[in-house]
Structures are given as structure tokens and as C-alpha cells.
Structure 1
Amino acid sequence: MKSGSDTHDQIREIAWMHYIAGLTQSEIAQRRGLSKMRVHRLVQAAHEMGIVKFFVDATPADCVALETELIAAYGLRSCTVVPDAGLPATMAGAMPAVASAGARFLHGRLESTEKLVFGIGAGRTMSEVVRALPRIRRRKAEFLSVTGDFAALSAANPFEVIHLLIDKTGGTGYAFTAPLIVDTPEDRALFLRQRSIQTSFHRLRSADLIVLGLGHIGPGSFFQSFDLLSDGEQTELARGGVVADLAGNLLDADGQFVDSGIAQRMLGMDRALLQDREVVAICAGLEKWQAARAALRSGHLTGLITSRGLAEKVLSVV
């Protein structure tokens, strides 16, 4: 019998990956962020429900193929590509499916009863992921914001994202008590000397997993949506070759960090903390394809959860 948290679509997807795509249960567990026991239970449920015959119906084989390509091209450990389901390949169209996949991944990691420390990004994508996350009581879970706040009071604010995670899990959480962008480099230096900021960076050193969204530059970006930068400052970013924001760090199209200009005023995650740990980005919509490719090229991602349209675009542009 399947549990309440095992949806029919998930059981069907795991069955397809195992029996048609030929992935082992261990490989599926790593790619989907699930325990091996959970994958075994899902495979067993597929048998009990009678959906495993000669093939698994209505499962997107092309998505699994895209996952395999992305893993090979960028050295990822895990990857999930969700179908566009006939919806526009924009952020708005792709968000529901991508957020659901992100919530499933996070829920899989929260199945562990051991103490786990999560670095959590903010923004619209992470807000939707956390909203889609089922309640799961994990008092040993600790959630740490990886960037400063957006000032605007919205569900995408880091404080709101962390608060909702605490509410859904019963765990503990700590917000990054500073703005994302300050007025001058001198202000940034002053904030970085504050004990609360140093404590946040110290806590993040113990993070087992970093889960975050990716910011892009241009129309519809969070810089624009939350009035974080003026039109002139956004133009400055684009002229400087910036295409992505990764945990409050700016990247150019080659995945190199940009340290000049506005980057000198941003309070994001210490980039050294992105190394030698699991970092999974969740990204929806073709608007973000350059940001996704830059983050992948940076070598700091170990996992990606995205939509089919975006995955195809990233793979099609050398």
C-alpha cells in the first residue's frame, strides 16, 4: 500500500526510471534526493497498483534523458527535469511543477530523523517550494537563510521562507539579519563586522545541504520585482556582463564571480561556503536559462531541479 505522501505520479515516475530508463534504485535515490528505502517502497507500490506491465504510461521519457545529459555535462550528482505539461515555458507557467519537484526533493531529505542543517535561499521560487512542502515533524531540522532580506514584505522574503519552514517542520531557523544590498561598499564592510552576521556565516559552515533559487538579470527579475535596484543599476549589471545571482553572489555568463560594481554592495553567502558541500538549485522558466547555465558553469552546483524548456535551452547553447 502506498502512504499518503506517495502520490500516484511519483510512483509512476520512479517505476519508469527504474524499469524503462534502467536506473538502479540507488541511482534514483541520489537523483531524486530520496532514501533508498523510500525508492524501494515506491517501486513496490508500482507493482501493487498494477501500473508496471511492459511500460509505464504517461511518463516523460525525454525529461529523464535531459537529466542524464545535464548530469554528464556539468558533473551533477542529482537532477530533476519536470515536463512543461503544455503550459508556457515561462517562469509563471513552469513554476507549479518545478516547485512541486523541489518540495518533493526537500521532503525526501527531511525524512531522515537525524539532525540536519539546511542553508535555504529566498525569492519567489523558494517561497513556492516551501509552500508546496507537506508538513513533516522534524524538530531536529535547522534552517539557515543564506542571504540578506529584500526589505519588501512578501512571501519571498527570507524571513518568511524560514518562518514557514519552521511552522511546517517544528524545527529551528535563523535569518540573515541584514539587507541584501546596502548603499556603499563601506556599509557592507560594516555589516560584515557585526556579530550577528559572523554568527550566520559560522552556522552555515555546518550546513549539510544548500537549497536555493537562481536570480536572473532583466525583465521579471527579483531585482526589478522588489525594487532592489534602480533601472540604471540594473542596466549597469547587464553592461557588466552579469547574468545570474547565486546566493547573493553575481556571476557572468562563463560562471565566473563578478566582484566589481554592485557586487561590492551585496550581502550574500560567503562563496567559500558553496564549496565542498551539496548545493541544489531550483530554477523555473526560460527567462532564467542564462542564469542556470552560468550557475552550472561555475562548478558550485551539485544538483539542479528545473523545467524541460529551460533544460533544453541550456543544453542547446554551447
Structure 2
Amino acid sequence: MKMKDERLIVKVAKLYYLEGWTQSQISKKVGLSRPIISKMIKEANENNIVEIYIKDETAHTVDLERILENEYGLNEVFVLAASDGNSELVRRNLGQVAATYLSKRLDDVNKIGISWGKSIHTLIEELRNQEKNHIHVTPLIGGMGQRYVHYHSNHLTFQLAEKLNTSSSYLYAPAIADTVELKNQLCETEDISKVLNEGRNVDIAVVGIGVPTKMNTMAELGYLSEQDILTLGDSGSIGDLNSNFFDIDGIEIDHPVNQRRIGLNLEDIKKIPEVIAIAEGVHKSGSLQVALKARYINTLFIDANTAEKLINSD
């Protein structure tokens, strides 16, 4: 290996493993394509530039997993140790573990539903390419927009289908329509109603958990204004799942954002056999706790700090 090449590989490995950068971020930083970055990370492992080991904090995290499983009747819980406040690294670690879990489930399912957001984007980015053409991928919410397109459900659906070398459907509609009338008109069209019905019949749904603040993915994508965030709080919203805003009892609130949403509602999601949620950050603990109590989720990936917050808040 040439010294110049080795130095670049070391730089890429440091950004990836120590700084928590994604392959996409590194690609932009060094001006190389993502496949080349992926190859460099692989070479770093093969040439012993990087030595991966697992710090054994199993006893603590297994205890947290067991408590959460018993407390909320969950099928599976995966708790990962925190990483010194580096939320990007925590999110990627959760995405890696969730991707490994999902890979093991693929032979047993035929239909996967995808919501939207950073956590799901990370999971799909970490998923390895494989041949699973018996699976069909469907978005669970509309996915059109101009900002942060890589977080939208249609883009994520396409990415997942590409990783699995399989088929997919798309919701050619925004997540939030401009008016209730437009939402109703769109949902009555054959194409959109068909995809929504596909979503209701998936075997596995992958969703994120949000809170009604400026940190919400919908706000970042331009779907929520400051006024929306203010009125959601006034209406009693504590969080959202698949952009369904709910109150402290897990009931969907009466709010214009909910009324204009194009996607599966909470009752639709509750009927899906397995709902996988990825949640990072203690700021989501209140929203997550309500969603768990309402039994909207049965497989959970979470960081240790948020797990402890959930347990100690009871």
C-alpha cells in the first residue's frame, strides 16, 4: 500500500470510527464517491489499521433491556451504551445494530414499510447489499419535498429496495398537504389509496419517534412552522410516530397538521405485526414512553441514557 493511500485510509477510518461521520459525509469531505469510501473502510480493517473490539458493558445494557421488555411488553429491546454525547455516533451505532437485526428478519417477511427521518436513513445506510427480491418495500407516509430529500420516505424506500435488489412502491404526495381538501382529493386517487393500503398490510414497519420542537424532522424538512410547533404544544401534543401527533394518553390530537397528513395513522400502525422504532436522545423519552404504553411499538433500539430515563421516570 502506498504511503499516500495509507494516510488517506487512516484519515477516513478516523472520521468514520472515532468522529462518527457517515460515509456520505466523508465522501463530501475528501471528494471521493461513497463506494470508494466504503472500500477504504474495508481495507482499514483488512490491513489491521483498525482493530474493532466490543467494550463489554453487557451486564448493564442487558439489565436495561430486560426491564424495558417486561415493563412495556416488548418482543425485543436493544440498548446500546452511550458515546459521550456524540449523537451522530450513537445514531449510527443504533443504525448498525438495527440493520443487523433487520437483515436476520428478511427471510421471514415479504413486505416492509418505511417511515422517514434521520434514524431510518442511518439504518438503511448501514444495511449491507443483498439479494432479497421476494420482499416489496412501501412508504408509510408521503415523501415529496425540496429540502433534505435523503430523509424523505420515497427516497428511503428506493434506497432500501436498491440495497435488497427488490421492488418498491412510492407515495407521490407530500407528507402534509396544504389543505384538508387537497389531502382528501389525493387520498381518493387510485395510485395513492393503493399504496396506503399496501402500507397497512406490511409485515414489518420501521418508524422513528419525534417531539414537537424545532428538532423535529418535519420542522427541518419545512413541513412544520414555528406557529405549528406552538399550537401543537397548546393542543397537548407530546410526540409523534409516523408524523401522527399524539397526547399524553397516546391518542391522536385534533390539529390541522394531523388532519392534513397523508400516511398511515396510529391505529393502522398498531395493527402491523412488527413495528421497529429507533430512538436516540433523552429528549424523546416522554414521547417514546407514551408510544410504548400505547403498544404502538414492539421492537425497540435505544441508547442507554434514554433507556435509563424511561425506567427512572416511572
Shorter-chain-normalised TM-score: which range? 0.7 to 0.9
Q: Are 1:91 and 1:287, in contact at CA under 8 Å, matched by a contact in 2?
A: no
- Cα separation, partners in 2 of 1:150 and 1:250, compared to 1, 3 Å: farther
Q: Deviations over 1:76-132 (max 9, x none)?
A: 1111111113x21x643421211111111111112x1x5610111111110010000
* Number of the residue aligned with 2:277: 281
Q: Are 2:68 and 2:74, in contact at CA under 8 Å, matched by a contact in 1?
A: yes
Q: Are 2:144 and 2:173, in contact at CA under 8 Å, matched by a contact in 1?
A: no
**Counterpart-to-counterpart distance in 2, 1:185 and 1:155:** 26
What amino acid maps onto 2:98 in structure 1? G
* Number of the residue aligned with 1:242: 237
What amino acid maps onto 1:298 in structure 2? A
* Number of the residue aligned with 2:80: 82
Counterpart check, 1:119 vs 2:113:
yes
For these two proteins, the number of residue pairs brought into alignment is 260
Counterpart check, 1:210 vs 2:208:
no
TM-score (normalizing by structure 1): 0.77
**Counterpart-to-counterpart distance in 1, 2:109 and 2:58:** 35
Q: Secondary structure at the match of 2:302?
A: strand
Shift of 1:235: 0.9
Q: Are 2:115 and 2:242, in contact at CA under 8 Å, matched by a contact in 1?
A: yes
- Cα separation, partners in 2 of 1:178 and 1:102, compared to 1, 3 Å: same
Shift of 1:291: 2.0
Q: Secondary structure at the match of 1:268?
A: coil
**Counterpart-to-counterpart distance in 2, 1:218 and 1:58:** 35
Relative to total residues, which structure has the larger helix share, 1 or 2? 2
Shift of 1:294: 2.0
* Number of the residue aligned with 2:37: none
**Counterpart-to-counterpart distance in 1, 2:154 and 2:237:** 26
**Counterpart-to-counterpart distance in 2, 1:95 and 1:262:** 27
Aligned-CA RMSD value: 2.0
**Counterpart-to-counterpart distance in 2, 1:254 and 1:107:** 33
Q: Are 1:182 and 1:188, in contact at CA under 8 Å, matched by a contact in 2?
A: yes
Q: Secondary structure at the match of 1:292?
A: helix
TM-score (normalizing by structure 2): 0.77
Q: Secondary structure at the match of 2:151?
A: coil
What amino acid maps onto 1:62 in structure 2? H
**Counterpart-to-counterpart distance in 2, 1:265 and 1:214:** 19
**Counterpart-to-counterpart distance in 2, 1:69 and 1:148:** 35
Q: Secondary structure at the match of 1:118?
A: strand
Q: Secondary structure at the match of 2:238?
A: strand
* Number of the residue aligned with 1:131: 125
- Cα separation, partners in 2 of 1:92 and 1:240, compared to 1, 3 Å: farther
Q: Are 1:215 and 1:222, in contact at CA under 8 Å, matched by a contact in 2?
A: yes
Q: Deviations over 1:38-71 (max 9, x none)?
A: xxxxxxxxxxxxx9xxxx9724211111111111
Runs of 4 or more above 6 Å deviation: none
Identity %: 22
Counterpart check, 1:171 vs 2:175:
no
